[in-house]
Amino acid sequence: MHRKKTTDYFKYIAFEGIDAAGKSTQAKMLSNFLKNEGYDVFLTKEPGGTKEGKAIRNLLLNVDLPSKARTFMFLADRVLHIEKVSKLLKTSYVISDRSLFSTIAYQAFGEGLDLDFIERASLFSANNIVPDITFVMDIDTSTIKNRIEKMDVIESKGKSFFDRVKKGYEYIAKHYKNVYIIDGERPADRVFEDILKIWNKI
């Protein structure tokens, strides 16, 4: 049985992990599950979860910018997004594909920008609102190429980049509350079972 009372506290849910780890797949599955239970659910993403944020996302995807410039764009996107998220949380579950934790994992650990600054800037951009629960989809870096057609993602960034990002997520799981690292190597429905087990326990 779904325990409305306890899970109601966990309304802002984030999916994290390296590229192709299964974030979008599992976010959609949890969204469908909660909708089935009769809840209002809003599925969103970073970057690009708002109208203005879509323009930022396009720029991020299409223009090759230095790491620091990209960082400030991710932060700007989040300032807009978190405002929308806060409003939605009054009435709905909000499930977000990525969150401030991505900036910490990618920009600080992956790209090597100053961790203390990135962490503070990320919290600042989010108005100190962190997800109530975070599922970090964990796959081996070598799995990325089996899952996505755009092989250049791993080729351009390199395996060691994603290994550093994975270290970032370990740091996040250690330093923040309710961050769960999920084995994402198994079939999607098995992965979702693990997520539900945690969901039903909290």
| Minimum gap (Å) between residue 139 Cβ and ligand ADP | 8
179's enclosing H/E stretch is: strand 179-183
**Eight-class DSSP state of 111:** T
Residue 19 Cβ, how far from ligand ADP at the closest point, in Å? 5
Comparison of 23 and 81: residue with beta carbon closer to Mg ion: 23
Q: Closest separation between CB of residue 15 and ligand ADP, Å? A: 7
- Please select the residue that binds ligand ADP; options are 69, 188, 198, 202, rule is CB under 6 A: 188
> Looking at 35-43, 66-74, 76-84, 181-189, which segment touches ligand ADP (CB under 6 A)?
181-189
Question: Which 4-23 residues touch Mg ion, going by CB under 5 A?
Answer: 23
Binding mask 17-56 for Mg ion (x = CB under 5 A): ------xx--------------------------------
Nearest to 97 by CA among 27, 182, 144, 157: 27
Radius of gyration of the chain (CA): 16
Nearest alpha carbon to residue 154 among 168, 139, 175: 139
Contact between 147 and ligand ADP per CB under 6 A: yes
| Closer of 7 and 164 to ligand ADP (Cβ) | 164
Of 41 and 121, which CB lies nearer to ligand ADP in the complex structure? 41
**Cβ distance to ligand ADP smaller for residue 12 or 15:** 15
Q: Residue 62: which H helix or E strand, with range?
A: helix 51-62
C-beta closer to ligand ADP: residue 85 or 137? 137
CA distance 31 to 14: 11
Count, in order, helices (H) and strands (E) of the chain: 10, 5
Residue 2 CB neighbours (<10 A) = 14
Amino acid at 170: E
| CB burial of residue 118 (10 Å; 0-12, 13-18, 19+) | buried
Binding site for Mg ion (CB under 5 A): 23-24
Binding site for ligand ADP (CB under 6 A): 17, 19-25, 137, 147-148, 184, 187-188, 191
